[in-house]
Amino acid sequence: MRARAKPSAMMLVVLGMTVGLLSGCTGERDAAAPHRASAGAGDARAESGNAADAPAAQGGEGDRGGGATVRIDGADRKLARTARLELTAADVSATVRRARQVATGAGGYTGQERVDGHSASVEVVVPSDQLDAVLGELTSLGEVVRRQQRTEDVTEQVVDVESRLASQRASVQRVRALLERASSISEITSVESELTERQSELESLQARQEALAGRVATATVSLSVSRSAVAAEQDEDGVLGGLAAGWRAFTGFLGDALTVLAAALPFLAFFGLPAAAGAWQLFRRRRRRVVGEPVPE
């Protein structure tokens, strides 16, 4: 029985190595396929001529505002969109509250948020096809200081991940089939280790696919709001403004006084110490005279 087990184990190990090599070659062919297809599509577009390119470009621009997936030259493109908006407003907290309402109304939400008395920053996450409308509403909440938009084409990344996922799923299925045919503990341990590694790679690819899908499906607006100069000037009026002005005057006077004292210390040390020593000697002499005189009867 032992003589039969050894050849079986050797055959299983050789079979496992063969499966690994075949899956690696399959993954390389699958990963290279999108690039070959993309290159072929590019050659076909080049042969179509400039006359066909102009209408296609116009159609792509027209579809861009409709969502994150657009058709350019007959191919669906996956676009990840982001924006940055800086505003000034009289009431920072109220502006942030209205920004939350805008996000909720568009089917989105607000992410990381920071608010203080004079400034605020908040991330507004909305569906990609609602980005332009949301930016229009957000710009109406205050005075626009800066507005930026960025669009990244992630089509090749999406296609590459999908191809690698298909290859990895097939590889996992093959290793599972080997596990079912394993007949000894050493064979089971070896195949399970390989299966765990390939399953981990599969989960990593799935996580990357989900991340790309999220970037395409949603758009993030980094909103910054600061207090306007008009509102800051208005706060200087009234009782609070007077108290603030008085406190600033007091601290300014105190700082000036300390500065003058610090500048005079060297002179006081140079001239004051000898004068203090002479005064002390004079005081002691007078005290001795008073003590030495007889007390009148």
| Whether residue 199 sits in one domain with residue 244 | no
Which pLDDT score is estimated for 256? Answer: 84
| Whether residue 281 sits in one domain with residue 207 | no
Which residue in the block uniquely carries the two structure tokens 């706060």? 235
Which pLDDT score is estimated for 293? Answer: 54
| Whether residue 223 sits in one domain with residue 132 | yes
Six token digits for residue 187: 């064979």
| Whether residue 158 sits in one domain with residue 210 | yes
Q: Which residues of the chain have pLDDT under 50?
A: 1-10, 12-14, 19, 21-67, 74, 295, 297
269 is a domain residue: yes
Nearest Cα to Cα of residue 225 among 89, 113, 98: 89
Distances (CA, A) of 274 to 136, 278, 280: 78, 6, 10
| Whether residue 249 sits in one domain with residue 189 | no
Radius of gyration of the chain (CA): 40
Which pLDDT score is estimated for 25? Answer: 44
Phi/psi of residue 113, nearest 5 degrees: -140, 140
Domain of 54, in residue numbers: 1-228
Query: Element (H or E) spanning 5, and its range?
Result: helix 2-48
Which pLDDT score is estimated for 271? Answer: 74
Instruction: Tell me which DSSP letter residue 269 carries.
Output: I
| Whether residue 158 sits in one domain with residue 55 | yes
Which pLDDT score is estimated for 162? Answer: 95
297 is a domain residue: no
Q: Which one of 206, 228, 250 terminates a domain?
A: 228
Q: Which residues contact 131 (CB under 8 A, 6 or more apart)?
A: 81, 83, 219, 221
| Whether residue 286 sits in one domain with residue 152 | no
pTM: 0.52
174 is a domain residue: yes
Q: Which one of 173, 203, 228 terminates a domain?
A: 228
| Whether residue 113 sits in one domain with residue 246 | no
| Whether residue 255 sits in one domain with residue 212 | no
Which pLDDT score is estimated for 48? Answer: 34
Which pLDDT score is estimated for 7? Answer: 44
Look at strands 75-89 and 218-227 and give their pairing: parallel
Q: How many domains does the chain have?
A: 2
